[in-house]
Amino acid sequence: MSTCLRRREFIALLGSAVAPWTPSALAQQREQMRRTGVLMNLAADDPESSARLSAFVQRLQQLGWTDGRNVQVEIRCGEGNPDLFRRYAMELVAHAPDVILAASGATVSPLLQATRSIPIVFAQTPEPVGAGYVSSLARPGGNATGFMQIEFGMSAKWLEFLKQIAPRVTRVGVLRDVVNLEQGVPQFAALQAVSASFGVELTAIGVRDAMEIEHGINEFVRGQNGGLIITASPLTAVHRDLIISLAAKHHLPAVYPFRYHVIAGGLISYGADPIDQYRRAAGYVDRILKGEKPGDLPVQAPTKYELVINLKTAKVLGLEIPPTLLGVADEVIE
């Protein structure tokens, strides 16, 4: 059974970093082999999946965990699909791994529904206390811990950057995933709290698939002086090319949560570095494999935020990037 799209190519890309669990392999190496499951939120053929998994596996290797010698990594790729998240969560749990890496908040809930005993290390997960994944950030207490994707108050920076780049904007459409409300609602609330101070009217564009993304943006552009804010979710990651193309088609200045949106042609992004989170998650996986309990490992907030600007896109949109903003950007694409 295929567990990830283009699994052969995916494994080849990572070198010997991952290997499937097979009965013969488990029988031969049961005494010394440890097993780690991974539930990804994107597709296997997504370059961002490859980059994140490479960072995770390489850090594990640096910590002494070598594929085929003392660890096996089994991957499931959910492609932003909640049904696949639930299905693959149960599959991974059925293999009784020593620890599971949950790639985002959208994958944590189905894993916790499937097990309350197997340790789970999550990355890029918003508000784990509010979502009920942990008891507290300092003392998670259960079988899950990890790394927060975003501090919701930071969402206000998206609006600040949008107004700096496009002062004429008075209407802002906020694209949010209505399936993963634990992410979309708090991000929108943080924007609402500051919208009046920036003189803008917010419009929530609730979406759950590509068709709704296209319809929602097309409806929003019926008005004038509009701009977009793309909130963080598996859905907006999976369909980033569509979103970026629609923003370009309608000449909408848009702010995105991650660097890879800007690499793909988006205007500007501000958010935590996803790759860094996977390296740090490998550190927690290492500690759990060596005997520590997830409930004793504190949930950590992002330590690295990055501002990325695409000057090519700005030029196409007829926007002048303020020198002050260029001066604080972590990366400028020309």
The CA R_g of the chain, rounded to the nearest whole Å, is 20
pLDDT above 60 (res 162): yes
Within-domain flag for 122:
yes
Residue 53 parent element (H or E):
helix 47-62
Within-domain flag for 309:
yes
pLDDT on residue 1: 32
Count up the domains in the chain and report the number. 2
Within-domain flag for 1:
no
Do 267 and 285 share a domain, yes or no?
no
Do 203 and 323 share a domain, yes or no?
yes
Do 197 and 323 share a domain, yes or no?
yes
Do 233 and 281 share a domain, yes or no?
no
Sheet holding 305-310, edge to edge: 201-207, 171-177, 226-230, 254-256, 268-272, 305-310, 331-333
Do 88 and 28 share a domain, yes or no?
yes
Q: What is the DSSP letter of 67?
A: B
Do 328 and 268 share a domain, yes or no?
yes
Do 119 and 236 share a domain, yes or no?
no
Q: Is 323 exposed, middle or buried (0-12, 13-18, 19+ CB in 10 A)?
A: exposed
Within-domain flag for 325:
yes
Mean pLDDT of 57-79: 92
Residue 111 parent element (H or E):
helix 105-114
Q: Measure the CA–CA gap between 146 and 148, rounded to whole angstroms.
A: 7
pLDDT above 70 (res 3): no
Do 44 and 129 share a domain, yes or no?
yes
Within-domain flag for 2:
no
pLDDT on residue 187: 81
**How many residues comprise the chain?**
334
pLDDT on residue 183: 65
Q: Which of 181-190, 240-249, 296-305, 311-320 has the lowest mean pLDDT?
A: 181-190
Do 209 and 251 share a domain, yes or no?
yes
Within-domain flag for 50:
yes
Q: Measure the CA–CA gap between 276 and 324, rounded to whole angstroms.
A: 26
pLDDT above 90 (res 29): no
Using CA atoms, how far residue 96 sits from 92, 191, 309, in Å, is 7, 41, 44
Domain that holds residue 129: 7-148+274-296
pLDDT on residue 105: 86
pLDDT above 50 (res 283): yes
Residue pair 147/300 in contact by the 8 Å Cβ criterion: yes
What percent of the chain is predicted at pLDDT more than 70? 89
Mean pLDDT of 175-200: 84
pLDDT above 50 (res 157): yes
Q: Measure the CA–CA gap between 60 and 211, rounded to whole angstroms.
A: 39
Do 238 and 312 share a domain, yes or no?
yes
What is the value of pTM for the model shown? 0.85
3-state DSSP helix/strand/coil percent for the chain, to nearest 5?
Answer: 45, 20, 35
User: For 223-271, what is each residue's pLDDT tens digit?
Assistant: 999 999 999 888 999 999 999 999 999 999 999 999 999 999 999 999 9
pLDDT on residue 2: 35
Do 174 and 235 share a domain, yes or no?
yes
CATH of the domain at 38: 3.40.50.2300
Q: Which of 57-66, 185-194, 208-217 has the lowest mean pLDDT?
A: 185-194
pLDDT on residue 138: 96
Do 191 and 321 share a domain, yes or no?
yes
Mean pLDDT of 141-156: 87
pLDDT above 70 (res 181): no
User: For 10-25, what is each residue's pLDDT tens digit?
Assistant: 455 555 444 455 554 4
